[in-house]
């Protein structure tokens, strides 16, 4: 799929918040497709096929190849759930829709375009829908810049504008199995979004375009060379951790979250540069630690027995993990029995206050502190 070099749906949030990122991203090599991206592209193609062929079932695609990915049962289950969630959006099958439509802003913003997963219309409501098949980050529909980008661009695209013509509501929908998230807004909100986008794109062409770090940096490929990030790194290195107050430590943790994504991106970039033959001072490619393995397990067993080792010394048996058992049972459509499994945490970890996991209660320590205070 072709992407806009200035801003598209998936980069709208970044460019709105950080117009200076456009010039920096343009200096970076194209991002190599990883397994998760390949999976996502395959599932998008598969769900598009299913939506346009009302008779095909998700499991009819089992074993079929999309974008080089052979669909397995997990993929088919996701597709099946996605279709069921689409039924929630259009329970009476009233929707007129188009899929995979290229939309753009024409002369208003030359070179700014994107591709919508699905644009539809039910009565006075226009619908913009995006499939998300990643499990990592839950994507919200409310004020979602990607969906507002598609709505605004579609309103200016002759082949897509029909869905918005005379509509009084615009519904933004994220279908991310097992959830569907929906947000209804107005054409005026989308026009306001478009005005903000025009300002950001104009900003982005200035030599001193604003750079601003935030959660939109997550997928920015310019992190390794971004002054906001490298500045944050310099500041963090200069920090002395003695006598820091609690608020300051929280601020540094937010900085650390940004730095972690920056470090990951920097390592990925350096690795892909070295793998493509570039030289980096002080660094080189080496093979990962080699782990010895038997060239032929049966021959190894014979050799070890011949050397006098007993069967109990040579062979190990252990029960498969609950995760592997659950996967094996799922194929037989059987649930893992709950009374044979216990979840044991390997320890505590840091999380921000809005993390959905419950806070660990250290009752002993908290009570001891309470008594000390009295
Ligand atoms: S890493 Fe963040 S601050 Fe830097 S260019 Fe990208 S979006 Fe902007």
Does 235 reside within a domain? no
pLDDT in tens, 75-119: 999 999 999 999 999 999 999 999 999 999 999 999 999 999 999
Q: Atom 3 in ligand 1: which residue has the minimum CA distance?
A: 213
User: Is 100:51 a contact under the CB 8 Å cutoff?
Assistant: no
Same domain, residue pair 226 and 113: yes
Atom index in ligand 1 nearest the CA of residue 220 equals 6
Closest CA to 203 of 50, 5, 18: 18
**How many angstroms separate the CA atoms of 232 and 238, rounded?**
10
Does 31 reside within a domain? yes
Same domain, residue pair 83 and 176: yes
Q: Supply the pLDDT for residue 356.
A: 73
Is 70 exceeded by the pLDDT of residue 37?
Answer: yes
In the reported structure, the alpha carbon of residue 167 is separated from the centroid of ligand 1 by a whole-number distance in angstroms of 36
Closest CA to 259 of 233, 240, 224: 233
Same domain, residue pair 47 and 180: yes
Q: Supply the pLDDT for residue 45.
A: 96
Q: How confident is the model at residue 237 (pLDDT cuts 50, 70, 90)?
A: low
Same domain, residue pair 119 and 81: yes
Same domain, residue pair 68 and 204: yes
Q: Which of 180, 200, 230 is the last residue of a domain?
A: 230
How many other β-carbons are positioned within 10 Å of the β-carbon of residue 208? Answer: 7
pLDDT in tens, 168-218: 999 999 999 999 999 999 999 999 999 999 999 999 999 999 999 998 998
Same domain, residue pair 254 and 306: yes
| Angle value at C-alpha 160, between 159 and 163, nearest 5 degrees | 135
Same domain, residue pair 283 and 148: no
Same domain, residue pair 48 and 146: yes
In the reported structure, the alpha carbon of residue 213 is separated from the centroid of ligand 1 by a whole-number distance in angstroms of 5
Does 2 reside within a domain? no
CB of 217 shorter than 6 A to ligand 1: yes
**How many angstroms separate the CA atoms of 238 and 146, rounded?**
37
pLDDT in tens, 344-373: 777 667 666 777 777 776 666 556 655 554
In the reported structure, the alpha carbon of residue 341 is separated from the centroid of ligand 1 by a whole-number distance in angstroms of 44
Same domain, residue pair 165 and 23: yes
**How many angstroms separate the CA atoms of 341 and 362, rounded?**
24
What's the distance, Cα to Cα, between the start and end of the chain in Å?
66
Q: Supply the pLDDT for residue 291.
A: 76
In the reported structure, the alpha carbon of residue 100 is separated from the centroid of ligand 1 by a whole-number distance in angstroms of 29
Q: Supply the pLDDT for residue 370.
A: 58
Is 90 exceeded by the pLDDT of residue 264?
Answer: no
Does 73 reside within a domain? yes
125's CB contacts (< 8 A; 6+ apart) are 167, 168, 169, 170, 171, 184
Q: How confident is the model at residue 318 (pLDDT cuts 50, 70, 90)?
A: confident
Does 236 reside within a domain? no
Q: Supply the pLDDT for residue 339.
A: 85
Structurally, how many domains does the chain consist of? Answer: 2
Atom index in ligand 1 nearest the CA of residue 18 equals 8
Helix segments in the chain, DSSP class H: 12-17, 21-26, 35-52, 73-89, 145-155, 187-204, 227-238, 246-275, 297-306, 311-314, 322-331, 363-373
In the reported structure, the alpha carbon of residue 226 is separated from the centroid of ligand 1 by a whole-number distance in angstroms of 6
Residue 12 half-sphere exposure toward CB, CA atoms < 13 A: 25
Does 1 reside within a domain? no
Overall pTM > 0.95: no
Of the two residues 251 and 334, the one the predictor is more confident about is 334
193's CB contacts (< 8 A; 6+ apart) are 145, 148, 149, 151, 152
Does 7 reside within a domain? no
Q: Supply the pLDDT for residue 239.
A: 60
Of the two residues 3 and 164, the one the predictor is more confident about is 164
**How many angstroms separate the CA atoms of 302 and 307, rounded?**
9
Residue 142 is part of which domain span? Answer: 12-230
Q: Supply the pLDDT for residue 102.
A: 96
Same domain, residue pair 116 and 264: no
Is 90 exceeded by the pLDDT of residue 269?
Answer: no
Atom index in ligand 1 nearest the CA of residue 222 equals 6
Strand order in the sheet with 169-176: 96-104, 113-122, 125-131, 169-176, 179-185
Q: Atom 5 in ligand 1: which residue has the minimum CA distance?
A: 21
Pick from 23-27, 223-227, 359-363, 364-368 the range whose average pLDDT is largest: 23-27
Rounded to an integer, the average pLDDT of 155-164 is 96
Q: How confident is the model at residue 240 (pLDDT cuts 50, 70, 90)?
A: low
Q: Supply the pLDDT for residue 369.
A: 54
CB of 211 shorter than 6 A to ligand 1: yes
In the reported structure, the alpha carbon of residue 358 is separated from the centroid of ligand 1 by a whole-number distance in angstroms of 31
Same domain, residue pair 203 and 162: yes
Mean pLDDT of the chain: 88
Q: Which of 202, 230, 258 is the last residue of a domain?
A: 230
CB of 228 shorter than 6 A to ligand 1: yes
Q: Supply the pLDDT for residue 250.
A: 80
Is 90 exceeded by the pLDDT of residue 289?
Answer: no
Rounded to an integer, the average pLDDT of 129-136 is 90
Q: What CATH number is associated with residue 33?
A: 3.90.320
295 DSSP 8-state letter: S
> Percentage of the chain surpassing pLDDT 90?
55
Same domain, residue pair 267 and 196: no
How many other β-carbons are positioned within 10 Å of the β-carbon of residue 206? Answer: 11
Interstrand relation of 96-104 and 65-66 (parallel, antiparallel or unpaired): unpaired
Does 243 reside within a domain? no
Question: In a mutational test of the pocket of ligand 1, which residue from 10, 13, 15, 24 has the highest number of ligand atoms less than 8 Å from its CB?
Answer: 24
Is 70 exceeded by the pLDDT of residue 242?
Answer: no
């Amino acid at each position: 799929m072709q992407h806009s070099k200035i801003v598209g749906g998936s980069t709208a949030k970044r460019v709105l918040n950080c117009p200076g990122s456009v010039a920096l991203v343009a200096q970076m090599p194209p991002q190599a497709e990883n397994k998760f991206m390949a999976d996502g592209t395959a599932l998008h193609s598969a769900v598009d096929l299913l939506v346009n062929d009302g008779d095909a079932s998700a499991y009819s695609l089992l074993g079929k190849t999309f974008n080089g990915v052979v669909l397995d049962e997990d993929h088919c289950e996701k597709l099946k759930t996605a279709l069921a969630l689409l039924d929630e959006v259009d329970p009476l099958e009233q929707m007129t829709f188009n899929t995979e439509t290229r939309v753009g802003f024409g002369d208003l913003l030359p070179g700014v375009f994107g591709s919508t997963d699905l644009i539809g219309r039910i009565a006075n409501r226009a619908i913009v829908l995006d499939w998300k098949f990643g499990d990592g980050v839950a994507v919200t529909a409310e004020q979602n810049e990607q969906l507002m980008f598609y709505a605004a661009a579609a309103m200016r695209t002759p082949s897509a504008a029909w869905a918005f013509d005379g509509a009084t509501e615009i519904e933004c929908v994220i279908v991310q199995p097992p959830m569907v998230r929906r947000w209804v807004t107005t054409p005026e909100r989308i026009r306001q979004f478009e005005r903000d986008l025009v300002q950001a794109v104009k900003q982005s062409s200035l030599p001193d375009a604003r750079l601003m770090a935030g959660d939109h940096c997550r997928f920015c490929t310019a992190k390794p060379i971004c002054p906001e990030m490298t500045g944050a790194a310099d500041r963090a290195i200069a920090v002395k951790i003695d006598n820091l107050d609690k608020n300051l430590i929280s601020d540094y943790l937010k900085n650390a979250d940004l730095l972690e994504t920056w470090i990951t991106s920097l390592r990925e970039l350096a690795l892909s540069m070295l793998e493509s033959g570039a030289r980096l001072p002080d660094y080189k490619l080496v093979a990962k630690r080699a782990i010895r393995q038997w060239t032929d397990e049966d021959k190894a067993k014979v050799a070890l027995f011949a050397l006098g080792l007993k069967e109990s010394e040579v062979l190990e048996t252990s029960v498969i993990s609950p995760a592997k058992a659950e996967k094996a049972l799922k194929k037989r459509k059987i649930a893992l029995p709950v009374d044979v499994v216990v979840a044991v945490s390997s320890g505590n970890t840091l999380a921000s206050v809005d993390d959905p996991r419950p806070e660990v209660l250290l009752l002993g320590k908290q009570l001891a502190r309470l008594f000390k205070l009295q």
